Amino acid sequence: MLFNSMAFAIFLPAVFTLYWICPVKFRYLFLLAASYCFYMTADIKYSLLLMLVTVSSYAAARLLDAVPAPSARKKIFLSGLIALLSPLLFFKYIPTLLPLHASSIQFMLPVGISFYTFQAVGYLTDIYLRKYPAEKHFGYYCLFLSFFPQLLSGPIGRGGRLLPQICSPRRFDASQASYGLKKMAVGYFKKLVVAGLVAPTVDAVYGSPDSYVGLIFPIATFLFAVQIYCDFSGYTDIAIGCALLFGIELTDNFKSPYFSHSLKEFWSRWHISLSSWFRDYVYIPLGGSRAGKFRHALNLMLTFLVSGLWHGAGITFLLWGGLHGFFQILENRMNKLREKPAETGHRPLAASILSMPLTFLLVCFAWVFFRADSLSDAWRILSLSFCNIKNFDEYLKTAVICLDMSYGHMAYISIPILLLAVYDYASLKTDVIAFLSARKVWIRYPVYVLFLLSILLFSEKGVSSEFYYFQF
């Protein structure tokens, strides 16, 4: 069931109403049943796999708590990891290894398997490291893995933060629910308006790069950077807002990442639940930055290569991860310019002006490999991006022709992107939603109405389109 579907528009109000009417001691059961119903709308067989992952991780965690011997605990932990990761590896990577059967197996790829598997692996690892005791209540643990707002594309929840909220009785908070609805509205604006407007151009150019040349490639890459951010952070905003309707706070997943001054800062702001997962369960166990320079660089590279493989088994995803690993290593080596700002709290003017656009350009460069269907397509896009740039007028005219848009339509697309940029920039220093909520009625309600009207005005054909990250 898509967040941007009519079915969800009926499902959510019904579940919200019945949840708060339901007696307190049965609410978790109702929410668990609703979450499985939500998941089964994709395919009833998917719920069986979700239950398999749930039972495997629950049993392994209980055994880890019950067995004190270190050697036995290690065997249980490794067995649990194998049981959890095997379905993910099978459904996600076997199609690449067996191309003759790829189409039939790819069709079976369960939606959200990467996210709830990583959540279960993180939970099991925390239990093994004795960060907190294993959850004894099977129903609560089932809801921890299947809670429908985050089930399909995260944020990836941590047991230490999410389980206590699930286990304790929730009380309805009107201000929290109001904030959740506004957060959802921001998410729908990102998905239906911004991502929906730029997606056709991105799909056309990246879907048939042989038909284009020149400036259209950098434009399409920029638009893809906007699309993937709005699509995924839009999903996250909807998920966080939806969870707040039930009194549950999910972790933030995006914090204005394109305003970062470094690649390290970018990854602290982009897909935070996943990047922190790789940091805690891959990078740090490898040794992190505690070893020498070479080992530190190797740990960074391995972590980003694993991140690339998580997104897909193709060489383009591996290169995307490798590029970010290389950028981080290079950034660490050239970080002397930023050492003084770290001590004084101020960044040199030149670094402040140049670091943000340079970071964005490097991120966009890597996005080419992420979005391209093949390595040859990525090479064509990069090698022909500046073709005929010496004849700048012709370079611009070719891009306008390739866009196949009037100047008015270009401006029409630009307005929502600029609005989003203003919102993200303001979000660096303040919670925009909370700020508006604190304004007087005659100020905030006209803003709400204009915002909703902008969704109706600018959104086009994105109402039933899938979220981009569902394929991962």
The token pair at 257 is 């990442």
**Residue 272 CB-density burial (10 A; 0-12 exposed, 13-18 middle, 19+ buried):** buried
Find the DSSP H helices in 67-97.
70-97
Residue among 311, 324, 346, 409 flagged as catalytic: 311
- For 357, counting Cβ atoms within 10 Å of its Cβ (0-12 exposed, 13-18 middle, 19+ buried), the class is exposed
Query: Tokens at residue 165, please?
Result: 């909220």
Q: Are 467 and 2 in contact (CB under 8 A)?
A: yes
First-to-last alpha carbon distance for the chain, in angstroms, is 16
Q: How many CA atoms lie within 13 A of 13 on its CB side?
A: 4
Q: Six-digit token pair at 42?
A: 């994709």
- Give the dihedral sign, CA 444/446/452/455: negative
Residue where the block lists tokens 């194998």: 82
Q: What are phi and psi of 206, to 5 degrees?
A: -75, -20
**Nearest-angstrom CA–CA distance, 141 and 376:** 45
Question: Cα–Cα–Cα angle for 131, 138, 35, nearest 5°?
Answer: 105
Tell me phi and psi for residue 259, to 5 degrees: -100, 20
3-class SS string, 234-265: HHHHHHHHHHHCCCCCCCCCCCCHHHCCCHHH
- C-alpha–C-alpha distance, residues 257 and 210, integer Å: 31
* 228-244 core/surface letters (b: 16 or more CB in 10 A; e: else): bbbbbbbbbbbbbbbbb
CB of 415 closer than 8 Å to CB of 458: yes
- 409 catalytic, yes or no? no
Active site residues: 311
